[in-house]
Amino acid sequence: MAPPAAPAPRLALTGIRKAYPGVLANDDVALTVEEGEIHALLGENGAGKSTLVKIIYGVLAPDEGEIRWAGRPVRIASPNAARQLGIGMVFQHFSLFEALSVLENVALGMDGEKNWQALAGRIVEVSRAYGLPLDPTREVHELSVGERQRIEIVRCLLQAPKLLIMDEPTSVLTPQEVDRLFLTLRQLASEGVSILYISHKLHEIKALCDAATIMRGGKVVAHCDPKVETARSMATLMVGSNFAAPEKPAKRLKRAPRFQVNALDLESSEAFGTSLKEVSFEVRAGEIFGIAGVAGNGQTELLAALSGERPVEAEAIIIDGNRAGALGPRARRGLGLAYIPEERNGHAAIPDLTLAENALLSAFDRRALLTNGVIRFARASAFAEEVIERFSVKATGPDARASSLSGGNLQKFVVGREILQAPNVLIAAQPTWGVDAGAAAAIHQALLDLATHGVAVLVVSQDLDELLVLTDRMAVINGGRLSRPLVTGEATLEEIGLLMGGLHDLPDDIPAVETAAVNQHVQAL
């Protein structure tokens, strides 16, 4: 008697092709995800991951190829059609309204007529069952980023998904929140839910995932078992060649402070922003100082104050002994400050301008690209070319528009533009956000080299792994307050995680007063 046939995969893609003018985003892509499997989708920027996931979730239609769901050919015409099949997705950037409650936000993502009382009960039930406690009555602006992610996950779980797509889910979580998320995902997999997991954190892939598909240049280049691979071997498959890991000096030269922040207070200009309260720290010559923290804890306000976009009291910021708090960005640059903003498009660079024109934005003084109000275009072009060559930026030349570069290459250009101005102090916000492993390693090495030459480097990042690689000392920002500095090599992940969460662990349950509060909230709706 023949053995029973193996069950069909939960999801099987074959021959998927998607082209845009001048770009083949997906080229004959095959992907199989089994029932109850946690499957990683890996690749550097521009590898085709986002396009493929949008096809699976019904945002895009493939030009060619077949999608099979539980062995049956399907056409996924829209996200609603994907949800009807049993596909849910938690996006990297949350789709939540801060002025609405948890209950209202969940309801907005649900199909059909709403029974508010029943929905509130289901939110409590499901959030408890999967270790993701949520109070339906709380407004989103009151919640941490980790709690906001729970809303997105619970909203998906309420629709009983058979496949859950997670896009960079741990990028803004504390280590404790990551541990809790992994417990939830393992529980879902044990119940038969398939998970497609996208992340650049390869040590997490090793710890969590059962299988991995690696893409490069729109093609699938490898399938592997992450548990038997090393993080370096997977990174090499993603990039296509060996790349040099950043070399952190065993001992840094510590000199006098070059950048000081003294009891900085600043009211947020945003309705749901975070005001700064007595923030103090110093960055010494030859040191990389890191500021960690979950997004929304005052980083935006702090960077605006440090860069000069929001002037403060003169003595609140000292650059090489000069009181600079009341100065604007140009005057601070004159004192030797350089700045890499978090948002590269629109803040660090203007997409419609050429690279030569973007070089002018911050370097016109320190690189003498402007004389008596007259732009020296030849010098600007030469400077842009220097950045392109020194930082291996893939671009057609100084006349290429910024919008024509991939995210990773534009980030390398912005980093190079600031470093080649020979600053005394460099502030870098999220310096490797959204870039591939090779570009991240190059940017990290550039920052380490800068510190080696006596520059004071401040890195503000939500990526804890990045700060552990780069920094000599670090502090944590939470609720607009900065913790005491920690020596990076002596700090534990638990200690850093607790500081990121506000020196308290996560709640294990919703308070007992929830029922009355929920009833009152439902009546108000």
Structure tokens at 223: 């399938």
CATH number of the domain residue 285 falls in: 3.40.50.300
- At 328 the pLDDT is 95
Compute the distance between CA of residue 411 and CA of residue 392 in angstroms, rounded to an integer: 11
The per-residue pLDDT for 61 is 95
Residue 522 lies in a domain: no
Rounded distance between C-alpha atoms, residue 282 and residue 292, angstroms: 15
Binning pLDDT at 50, 70 and 90, where does residue 506 land? very low
**Does residue 287 sit in the same domain as residue 175?**
no
Give the tens place of pLDDT for each residue, 87-124.
999 887 788 898 899 999 999 877 766 788 899 999 99
**Is 477 strand, coil or helix?**
strand
Between 338 and 370, residue with greater pLDDT: 338
pLDDT, residue 401, reads 94
Q: Which of 19-28, 37-46, 351-360 tops mean pLDDT? A: 351-360
Instruction: State how far the Cα of 261 lies from the Cα of 276, in Å rounded to an integer.
Output: 12
Q: Stretch 344-349: mean pLDDT, rounded?
A: 89
Lowest mean pLDDT among 49-53, 61-65, 92-96: 92-96
Burial-class residue 42 by CB neighbours within 10 Å (0-12, 13-18, 19+). buried
* Per-residue pLDDT band at 518 (split at 50, 70, 90): low
What does residue 495 show for φ and ψ, rounded to 5 degrees?
A: -60, -45
Q: pLDDT value at position 147?
A: 84
pLDDT over 90 at 440, yes or no: no
The Cα–Cα gap between 128 and 324 comes to 50
Q: Give the separation between CA 261 and CA 302, rounded to whole angstroms.
A: 10
Q: Residue 2: inside a domain, yes or no?
A: no
**In 240-321, alpha helices (H):** 299-307
> 119-143: b or e for each residue (b if 16 or more CB lie within 10 Å)?
bbebbbebbeebebbbbbbbebeeb
Confidence of residue 235 (pLDDT cuts 50, 70, 90): confident
pLDDT for residue 81? 94
Burial class (CB in 10 A: 0-12, 13-18, 19+), 111: exposed
Average pLDDT over all residues of the chain: 88
Q: Please, which residues have CB within 8 angstroms of residue 510's CB and are 6 or more apart in sequence?
A: 124, 127, 128, 133, 134, 135
Cα(first)–Cα(last) distance of the chain, in Å? 62
pLDDT at residue 154 greater than cutoff 80: yes
CA 400 to chain CA centroid, nearest Å: 27
Of all residues in the chain, what percent carry a pLDDT higher than 70?
Answer: 92
> Does residue 383 lie in a domain region?
yes
Can you give the pLDDT at residue 349?
Answer: 93
Strands 163-167 and 38-42 turn out to be unpaired
Domain final residue, candidates 193, 208, 239: 239
Report the number of distinct structural domains present in the chain. Answer: 3
Look at residue 32 in the predicted model and tell me its pLDDT.
97
Residues 226 and 373 in one domain: no
Write down how long the chain is: 525
Query: Strands 288-292 and 473-478: what pairing?
Result: parallel
Q: Please give the pLDDT value at position 505.
A: 41
Compute how many other C-beta atoms are within 10 angstroms of the C-beta atom of residue 437: 24
Segment 249-262 shows an average pLDDT of 80
Separation of alpha carbons 477 and 218, rounded Å: 39
Q: Is residue 250 part of a domain?
A: no
Q: By the 8 A CB rule, do 29 and 48 touch?
A: yes
Q: Which pLDDT does position 305 carry in this prediction? A: 96
Q: Using 50, 70 and 90 to split pLDDT, how confident is the model at 252? A: low
Residue 18 or residue 269, greater confidence: 18
List beta partners, residue 18.
Answer: 26
Q: How many percent of the chain have pLDDT more than 90?
A: 58
- pLDDT tens by residue, 460-475: 998 888 999 899 999 9
User: What per-residue confidence (pLDDT) applies to 280?
Assistant: 97
With a cut of 60, say whether residue 519 has pLDDT above it. yes
Q: Is 98 in the same domain as 167? A: yes
* Spatial separation of the C-alpha atoms in residues 194 and 87, rounded to whole Å: 9
Q: Is residue 430 included in any domain, yes or no? A: yes
Q: Is position 388 within any domain?
A: yes
| 486-525 exposure pattern, b = at least 16 Cβ within 10 A, e = fewer | bebeebeeeebbbbbbeeeebeeebeeebeebbeebbeee
Domain of residue 60: give its range: 11-239
Number of other residues whose CB lies within 10 A of the CB of residue 389 = 10
Statement to judge: residues 175 and 217 lie in one domain: yes
| 169 in a structural domain | yes
Mean pLDDT of 412-426: 95
DSSP 6: P
- Same domain, yes or no: 318 and 184: no
Whether residues 403 and 454 fall in one domain: no
Q: Looking at residue 296, what is its pLDDT? A: 80
215 lies in the same domain as 66: yes
The CA distance from 457 to 426, in Å, is: 5
Whether the per-residue pLDDT at 420 is higher than 70: the answer is yes
pLDDT, tens digit, 9 for 90 and up, residues 269-299: 887 788 999 999 999 999 999 999 887 889 9
pLDDT at 3: 64
Question: What's the pLDDT at 513?
Answer: 38
Interval 380-400 mean pLDDT: 93
Provide the pLDDT confidence category of residue 504 given band limits of 50, 70 and 90.
Answer: very low
Least confident of 20-24, 285-289, 435-439, 464-468: 435-439
| R_g (Cα) of the chain, nearest Å | 24
Q: What is the pLDDT of residue 232?
A: 84
Which residue would you say has higher pLDDT here, 271 or 14? 14
Pairwise CA distance, residues 412 & 443, whole Å: 7
For residue 455, is it within any domain?
A: yes
Name residue, tokens 């994907």: 82
pLDDT given at position 67: 97
Residues 206 and 309 in one domain: no
Contact of 297 with 480, CB cutoff 8 Å: yes
Same domain, 409 and 429: no
pLDDT at residue number 415: 94
Domain boundary, last residue among 401, 421, 441: 421
> Contact at 8 Å (CB) between 427 and 338?
yes
| Residue 215 C-alpha from the chain's centroid | 20
pLDDT attached to residue 516: 66
DSSP 315: G
Q: Do 88 and 205 fall within a single domain?
A: yes
Residues 149 and 264 in one domain: no
Considering only residues 519 and 78, tell me which one the structure prediction assigns the higher pLDDT: 78
The last residue of one of the domains, among 368, 394, 421, is 421
Determine the average pLDDT of the residues in 28-42: 96
Whether residue 375 is predicted with pLDDT greater than 60 in this model: the reply is yes
Do 198 and 87 belong to one domain?
yes
Amino acid 56: pLDDT = 97
Q: What is the pTM of this model?
A: 0.76
The half-sphere exposure of 433 on its side-chain side, counting CA atoms within 13 A, is 19
